[in-house]
Structure 1
Amino acid sequence: MASFFLISCLKKLPYLQKTNPLKWGMLLCALPYTQLAYAETNNDESIFLDDVPVVLSASRLVQPINEAPVAVAVLDRETIRDSGAWDLSEVFRLVPGMFVAYHADPNFYSADSTVAYHGMVTSTTSDRMQVLIDGRSVYSGLFGGVNWSDLPIVLDDIERIEVVRGPDSASYGANSFLAVISIITRHPAETQGAYASISYGTNRMESVFRYGGKSGNLTYQLTASERKDSGEADIIHNPASPDVFWTLNKYDNKNIRIFNVRAAYQASANDALEFQLGYNGGPRQAGEYDNFISINRTSDNHFEMINWRHALDGNGELAVKAFHTEEHIHGRLLDSDGISNGDASFKRDDLEIQHTFSSSPTARVVWGASVRQDVTYAPYYLGVENNQYLYGNFYYRLGRIFSNLEWHIRPDLLFNAGAMLENNSYTGTEFTPRLALNWHITPDHTIRIGYSRATRAPSVYEKVYEQYWRSPNEYPNLPELKTEKAKATDIGYIGRVGKIDLDFRLFYDDYTNLIDVKNHNSPKSGNLNAGNALMRGYELQMKAPLSDKTHLVYGLSGGGVKSDNVNGVIYTDSLPAYNHNLMITHQFNEQWRGSLVAYQISRTKFNDTDFNLAQGRGYYIEGNKRFDGKLSRHFIMYGRPTEVAFIMQNIANAHYFELRHDNEAPGRLVRINVKTEF
């Protein structure tokens, strides 16, 4: 009966996209009447939590996924391995609602991937999503977003990735505007001994070495890797225009060297101390044909983090975390004006205190505070298109107080209330609350209804542009730049029908004060926060065992956006009408394992700057589909566990555009990977 109801819901999706959240709620609330197994007199909460995956990131509390106040997608080690992904960014193609493009960067700061949730892409760094590694924010202060190739992390060191699908400023503050990606690495106790991995294939090669050891109460691991990636083909196979500019891909070769250390010391029965440091560096290319060529350009990034945890009575915990991050770009940019200083640097210092405790047998609370300072230096990129050069350091300061209450009103009814009070030196003080109610209709079926508010603070680049537009020679009466704001309504269903796990979500998000500083029409609207957008849609994730040895994971998302499209910034068509992902894995026997992954996305409109019908470049980037495959064999070689894998990405050798008409994804890519432990 429950499965029949869900299918009926899916058939009604076109209608749902035209309705408001109250009507969605009326439809989903009918689900309880298909299942009447819950007994009012049953006070045992554990019956609702058997075999339910646990998430760590949604509210800063460890919770079963069906008790989280927001939708969460979990990518575990096995999923990451079976995906055959080369870049970390590629893994997110398996998350419903996530858009991933190989790379397109017209500002020449980096040649990197674009990872965006629900579209809303106006810059290639995708600056409306927070990304954390072991709780450390890697959201860049200069342009916002994340430079994925500059992160000091390798796929082999990742334990799991949790993606909060929706705004989560109540837990992680400004810039957790559309979603939050939380990457959790492996603990040193799980990586003892030596490990090596070598990959070689089409325009790509990588070597990884890791060693884990122990001395008394100290466990540690060291990871070193080097990667060479030639990126896209130099020539676009199917150009949208015969103009030579549109027939050549960007400069994007990368040489990435990574070194990581992670150590954990159990000081006492109640005290644990963790230390991490990491480095990412090497030469990189960036730039476009007949415009910019980056020469003598290198990346040099590192971080240090320390985390102390003290266990308290009643399953409580006090934690103190501090980290320092530095990102450096060294380069000389050659353009029509000659050679420019392409150096840029970004430094972040952050201190956070967090306290978790049980206020009663049915309630838990997490609360804390943090302070942060960012320092950015980028004379060329902050020069506002050569109109003026602003040398020196730019400071950004941030203070936060946060809290989340989890209250079991009844064993089958859970209430979450969270909020963040935040003050930054650019836009002042913001308050972002969240409320959610989770109802376990039966042990196998849960309904979640939530409402939250979120913000995105301006990047340094946007703040400097504001100063330029409000200068005496331009538009001195422009209102001051404000944070972007979101009001998000979320209705979800998490359940199990037979052996099939289902996660279905409807969302209705209202965005206001959207920032537009780069478009030269911006000041003409009289406000740099002129954009608004209304987004509604659906997401479905299904996990099903087709047999004891064969498993399927399927994701579907879609929806629509209404926007005023102020200043020509197009949001109306920025959410794909549909986006599919499918992964099938099969364990042939103890030695052989295979996987097949398929992706499909509808036509999408992200960037208006390359729209030109006269030159053959249409309004939309046409939809595309892609197939990846992996076949691996496990065996013992000289007493050592060994795996040899053959991986093929883009099996059909499709040549399609992603994000822009001058950004053609690589064709078929083949590589062999050998891993061994010793």
Structure 2
Amino acid sequence: MAAFPSHLLSPHLTIALLASVVIPASAAESPYFEELPLVLSATRLPQPRHEVPGAVTVIDRELIAATGYRDLARVLRLVAGMQVGQERGHAQWVTYHGLSSDYPTEMQVLVDGRSVINGSAFGGVDWTGLPLALDEVDRIEVVRGTNASSFGANAFLGVINIITRHSVEDPGLRVNLRAGDDRIRDATFTWSGGDSPLTLRATAATQRDDGFDGLHDTRRTDTFSLRGDLQIDAADALLVRLAGNTGERGNGYPNSVFDNNGTRQSWNRSHDFHLQWQHNESADDEWLVNYYRNHERVRDEWFASAPMFPAVPLDRNRENVRDSVGIQRRSAPTPDLQHVWGLEAQREDVDAPFLYFGGNPDVQYLYRGSGNVEWRARDDVTLNLGGAVEKYSGAKTHLSPRAFANWQVAPGHTLRAGYSRGLRQHNVFARYSDIRAIDPASGAVLVRPYLPNPDLKQTRVGASEIGYFGRFETWSTTLDVRVFEENIRNFVVRVPQPDPVPAPLLSPFLGSTRYENLDSAVRLRGIEYELSTRPRPGTELRVAHAIIDRDSSHPGIEDRSAPYSAVVSWIQDWGGGWKSMFSVLRMGPLAGGDGYVPRYRFVARPYTTSDANITYTTNIAGHTVQLGLTAQNIGPRHQEFADRSQQAASGSNDPVNEVCPTAYLSLSVALERGKRP
């Protein structure tokens, strides 16, 4: 790995390395060091955090509840290196280390181990349209770094694995209500019940709000899910999850050029079906067989208006169906060796006539084989080797390897180092998009903003990292440090093209573009750390901080990653049923995606914003009742993620889509004696 600038190495790495040597003498005797949560998402093997090959953030139910947040994507702001922004109230831009396009595709996003990335979101994730209620989530595991060896090409820079709660937990009925600014009106109803061997959990949730002040971004979303867990016998279990999401949203801007992004209402429907059979001969011997189906449909259509062409139909209507089946085998032949292998096949079909003028792209197929081995070479040294072999439609077979070593230099203190390589799956929209706005009266092509590029190469990354994970008896402190270098080749950018023949009538105003591979490497290197400490009973302080050095020869690429981000959180149990959480986020300058406007660059200014949540829990007539007050975006209004086309049309550097402060009240009732909300 290349040498790092001194301002990135100091002082944080120095502190981490010193911490691995300066250890309290009583550390080995403290029971604090005997309990480490198991992580599943790094290698598909259950591993304590000090043996995981890489940096992992775990966000549990307790922390999610402490935030008071309404949206899953906002929770991810607590993760070091994560760059999350809102273009409007219901539009979340979620990336690790930024860099992405308008629709981020650099991270694999999973629900219970199944990918929820699909073509209807242009290869990304529609966070508002996920058929998942926040109340369902048991924990979120975020692998910070390339993990293609375990979860394939979309795990280009990391993995977010959202794990839902088992239906046996918290039997009874729970009701959660919210109301507040911007006409926030939320309700969630969760029921869990049944007797062995079959238990069920049903969740129904609705969200309503009017979005940010001054923007056309209303949200009306309804979600329903049903999870069943059947314990067939001592060795076999069956999981079935059905989920659906329907929604209506306000999109667009009233003064976009020729109404190319005019105000309108859009509708979405998404349905998931997940069936999993689990067979365990023992705790270290497991078979998993999965089938997953996702069907998403979006209706987003409006009329553009240009001189002499008053009503030109435009749309982003699309439909996507994904089916996948997989088998996984995990075993531990010796006490010092465990391994896992898996096979997966996937079929994806996209229907979007306006986005693909020449006809929908062919059905896309994926075939993947993966494996990981963990070998405890010594009591204090663990080696991890893994790799995935993948074949996508229209692409060559490729290998994504990973090698890591973890050395526990003393009880509670681990150094790790490794290298991994990965590819980003072909984005169907980037390769085949062909959009043409046509005058319905004359049949003339007015604009052709996207041209296809079927020869687009897959983006590749090679990532090196060293890290430290430490646990200190003093104040029950944990510290996780990652120093990284990510070298990215064939990065995809949107560039202007000569006018096609015949040239569209309005090409002098709105030219053509297509996605192409950058001819030089993009390099990200830096340091990030997460610190959690409890200086006194009932008090927890959390810090997540990242510094990134960006290097690219292409104008504007560096702007797509913020050079720094930090979040500091204070969680307090005051006693008597009172709890609170206060967070401060600082985000560096960020351009976000690649919204195309020729010769126009815009970077959102750095900003600082705060969130606060306070709750009071009591018992009324045998039922647990919780009252809460949440405030978000405390402080001056700011811009997080700009629509650059609209920003350019405004003729000003003043933000066109500012985030506004919001406050709301919440009420949670567990309608069963002694159960927590």
* 1:141 Cα offset (Å): 2.2
Q: What secondary structure, in the 3-state scheme, does the structure 2 residue paired with 1:156 have?
A: helix
Q: Distance in 2 between matches of 1:612 and 1:328?
A: 32
- Residue segments in structure 1 that go unaligned for 5+ positions in a row: 1-11, 105-109, 235-248, 383-388
Correspondent of 1:489 among 464, 472, 491: 464
SS at match of 2:153: coil
User: Do structure 1's residue 270 and structure 2's residue 235 form an aligned pair?
Assistant: yes
Q: Percent identity at matched positions?
A: 28
CA offsets 1:464-508 (integer angstroms, 9 cap, x no match):
04999xxxx999998922211000001110002323211111001
Q: Deviations over 1:527-583 (max 9, x none)?
A: 635352011011011101121011111111112111121xx4x22233322211011
Q: Letter of the 1:516 partner, please give it.
A: V
Deviation larger for 169-178 or 600-609: 600-609
Q: Deviations over 1:143-173 (max 9, x none)?
A: 1111100001111111100111011000000
| Deviation by residue 1:277-310 (Cα, 9 ceiling, x = unmatched) | 1000022222222323365631111011100000
CA distance in structure 2 between the aligned counterparts of 1:179 and 1:111, rounded to whole angstroms: 24
Which residue is equivalent to 1:671?
664
CA distance in 1, matches of 2:361, 2:459: 24
Match of 1:201 in 2: 180
Match of 1:459 in 2: 427
Which of 328, 337, 356 matches 1:363?
337
Q: Tell me, in whole angstroms, the C-alpha distance in 2 between the residues paired with 1:670 and 1:62.
A: 40
Q: Quick one: distance in 2 between partners of 1:447 and 1:323?
A: 37
How far apart are the structure 1 equivalents of 2:374 and 2:512? 45
Within the alignment, does 1:509 sit opposite 2:489 as a pair?
no
Distance 1:26 1:647, change over 3 A: closer
| Mapped contact 1:48–1:440 kept (Cα < 8 A) | no
Query: 2:160: which partner in 1?
Result: 181
Distance (whole Å) between structure 2 residues aligned to residue 638 and residue 314 of structure 1: 42
C-alpha deviation, 1:371, in angstroms: 0.2
The counterpart of 2:326, out of the listed 340, 344, 352, is 352
Equivalent residue runs for 1:318-357 within 5 Å: 318-336=287-305, 337-357=311-331
User: How far apart, in 1, do the equivalents of 2:157 and 2:338 lie?
Assistant: 26
Query: Which of residues 303, 315, 331 in structure 1 aligns to 2:272?
Result: 303
Q: Tell me, what secondary structure is at the counterpart of 1:323?
A: strand
How far residue 181 of structure 1 moved from its aligned partner, in angstroms, is: 0.5
The residue that corresponds to 1:416 in the other structure is: 384
Q: Cα gap change, 1:477/1:168 in structure 2, threshold over 3 Å: closer, same or farther?
A: closer
2:315 & 2:514 partners in 1: Cα distance? 33
Query: Residue 252 of structure 2 contacts residue 264 of structure 2 at CA under 8 Å; is this kept in 1?
Result: no
Displacement after TM superposition at 1:315 (Å): 1.9
The 8 Å contact of residues 285 and 297 in structure 1, kept in 2 or not, is answered as: yes
Kindly report the root-mean-square deviation, in angstroms, between the aligned alpha carbons of the 2 structures. Answer: 3.3
CA contact (8 A) 1:89 1:148 kept: yes
Pair 1:311–1:409, CA change in 2 (3 A): same
- Distance in 2 (alpha carbons) for counterparts of 1:72 and 1:559: 18
What residue is the counterpart of 1:480 in the other structure? Answer: 455
Contact 1:198/1:674, CA 8 A, preserved across alignment: yes
Q: How does 1:597-612 map to 2 (within 5 A)?
A: 597-607=583-593
Gap change, CA 1:322 and 1:609, over 3 Å in 2: closer
Unaligned 5+ residue runs, structure 2? 306-310, 437-447, 499-510, 648-654, 672-677
Question: Using a 3 Å threshold, how does the CA distance of structure 1 residues 47 and 428 change in structure 2: closer, same or farther?
Answer: farther
Q: Which residue of 1 aligns with 2:400?
A: 432
Kept in 2, the 8 Å contact 1:38–1:442? The answer is: no
| Equivalent of 2:191 in 205, 211, 220 | 211
- 2:64 aligned with 1:80, yes or no? yes
Cα offset for 1:127? 1.4
1:39-96: CA deviation from partner (whole Å, max 9, x where unpaired): 9xx9x9x999612222111110111011111110111111111122221111011001
The aligned counterpart of 2:502 is none
CA pair 556-376 structure 1, distance change in 2 beyond 3 A: same
Q: Deviation per CA, 1:179-207: give whole Å up to 9, x if none.
A: 11000111100131101011001121101
| TM-score (ref. length: structure 2) | 0.85
Rounded Cα–Cα distance in structure 2 between residues aligned with 1:576 and 1:556: 12
> What is the rounded CA distance, in whole Å, between the counterparts of 1:394 and 1:525 in structure 2?
19
Instruction: Judge which range, 339-348 or 497-506, deviates more.
Output: 339-348
1:127 aligns with 2:101: no
Please name the residue that 2:528 is paired with: 539
The corresponding residue for 1:89 is: 73
> Displacement of 1:409 after TM fit?
0.2
Query: Does residue 591 of the first structure (1) align with residue 577 of the second (2)?
Result: yes
Contact 2:435 2:449 in 1 (8 A): no
Q: Secondary structure at the match of 2:74?
A: helix
CA displacement at 1:256 relative to structure 2? 0.3
Task: Give the match for residue 347 of structure 2.
Answer: 373
Equivalent residue, structure 2, for 1:445? 413
Residue in 1 aligned with 2:440?
A: none
Name 2:621's counterpart in structure 1: 638
Answering whether residue 140 of structure 2 is matched by residue 157 of structure 1, we say no
Query: In the alignment, does 2:569 pair up with 1:580?
Result: no
Q: Secondary structure at the match of 2:490?
A: strand
Q: Post-superposition shift, 1:459?
A: 1.3
Matches of 2:563 and 2:160, distance apart in 1 = 23
AA partner of residue 535 (structure 1) = L
Amino acid at match of 2:180: G
Tell me if structure 2 keeps the 8 A contact 1:48–1:412: no
Q: Which residue of 2 aligns with 1:229?
A: 209
Aligned residue identity for 1:646: L
Which SS does the other structure have where 2:521 is aligned? strand
Q: Does 1:293 align with 2:288?
A: no
Taking a change above 3 Å as real, the CA distance of residues 518 and 333 of structure 1, as seen in their structure-2 partners, is farther
Partner Cα separation in structure 1 for residue 117 and residue 550 of structure 2 = 26
Distance 1:154 1:627 in 2: 24
Amino acid at match of 1:307: Q
Choose the corresponding residue for 2:371, options 403, 408, 420: 403
1:98 aligns with 2:91: no
Give the direction of change, closer, same or farther, for the CA distance of 1:195–1:529 in structure 2 (3 Å limit).
same
Question: What's the TM-score once normalised by structure 1's chain length?
Answer: 0.85
The answer to whether the 8 A contact 1:48-1:442 is kept is: no
Distance 1:352 1:139 in 2: 16
Equivalent-residue separation in structure 1 for 2:624 and 2:516 (angstroms): 62
Residue 25 of structure 1 deviates from its aligned partner by 10
Structure 1 pair 159/128, CA: closer, same or farther in 2 (3 Å)? same
Change (3 A) 1:27 1:88: closer
Over residues 219-240 of structure 1, what are the superposed CA-to-partner deviations in whole Å (9 max), with x where a residue is unaligned? Answer: 0011111111211112xxxxxx
The question of whether the paired residues in 1 share the 8 Å contact of 2:550 and 2:558 is answered with yes
CA distance in 2, matches of 1:219, 1:229: 34
- AA in 2 matched with 1:219: T
- In structure 2, distance between residues paired with 1:390 and 1:294: 27
| Distance in 1 (alpha carbons) for counterparts of 2:492 and 2:280 | 43
Higher strand share: 2
The CA distance in 1 between the partners of 2:397 and 2:582, in whole Å, is 48
Structure 1 residue corresponding to 2:603, chosen from 612, 620, 640: 620
CA distance in 2, matches of 1:254, 1:606: 23
Contact 1:427 1:481 survives alignment (8 Å): no
Q: 1:519 to 1:532 in 2, by over 3 A?
A: farther
